[in-house]
Amino acid sequence: MARAAVSTAAATALLALATPAWASSTTQINPDHKGKTAAGFPTQKCEDERFDDLAAGQDGWHFVLPGGEKAGSFESITLTFDNGTGPVTVKVPDASDAYPDYLYSAGGRVMHAYVFTPAGWELVDGTATISGKASKFNLSHTCAGTAPTQSPTPSPSTSTSPSPSTSVSPSTSVSPSESTSPSGSVSPSESVSPSTSVTPSESTGGSGGGDDDENEGGLPLTGVATTSIALGGLALIGGGALLMLRRRRDNVTFTS
């Protein structure tokens, strides 16, 4: 009985001493692995059989707990991602989570965790609850999805923007209305300058024109003036002669 009591007490003491070593603790993700995308992580292993179920447009993430037996196993993991519009929290395991994730046991320890997220997400932070003690846990490798394939979808929407802009060009083609410039082109009305070019009429006076016009117009003017003067003189002489004859005739007296 004494020996049994001593053995029981020794076993209880050993269990009491061993219990703190296996108590749950919290550890942080390796700081060097923060701010990484699956495509930007240096180690990618899409040949990992755990990524066989990775759907198109998804990134695969594999986390591992180092430290051997003293680290124990993963109990749960809380990860924070940035999806481009804000933070998203993903818990592993979480049956209600929209993103596939699970813990994987190897060598008697649950030291692997897999998470599938939409492609392009960035790992911001992470904490893990483990059964032992460890200074950190690591992002082991990734398998990047095909996020760029989603970029063409907005391009058609942007391509529609040029069409309205081109449709505006007809409206901008109010250039026809601007073709009222003919009305504005009062230049035709201003072409009354021909009327002001009465210079031709002035040329009839012989004052304008070239040298040839002066030679041609000078002689007729001179001849016409001389003839009119001569005719006027002859008319005066003839009239005077007739007047003198009449006076003589009146002075003649007949005597019987």
Residue with tokens 């818990």: 91
Distance CA 111, CA 146 (A): 28
Side-chain-facing half-sphere of 245: CA atoms under 13 Å: 6
Smallest CA-to-CA distance from 72 within 22, 136, 14, 135 is with 22
Q: Which residues of 163-197 are buried (b: 16+ CB within 10 A; e: fewer)?
A: eeeeeeeeeeeeeeeeeeeeeeeeeeeeeeeeeee
Task: Report percent pLDDT > 70 for the chain.
Answer: 56
Mean pLDDT of the chain: 71
Query: pLDDT per residue over 31-45, tens digit each?
Result: 999 999 999 999 999
| Per-domain residue ranges of the chain | 22-143
Q: Does residue 86 sit in helix, strand or coil?
A: coil
Angle in degrees, CA 32, 35, 40, rounded to 5? 90
Per-residue pLDDT at 106: 83
| Cβ contact 40:149 at 8 Å | no
Q: How confident is the model at residue 255 (pLDDT cuts 50, 70, 90)?
A: low
Smallest CA-to-CA distance from 102 within 114, 90, 117 is with 114
Per-residue pLDDT at 174: 40
Token couple for 200: 């031709």
Contacts of 114 (CB under 8 A, 6+ apart): 50, 51, 60, 61, 62, 63, 100, 101, 102, 104
Ramachandran quadrant class, 181 (left: phi over 0; alpha: psi -120 to 50; beta: rest) = alpha
Most confident of 54-63, 180-189, 201-210: 54-63
- The model's pTM is 0.51
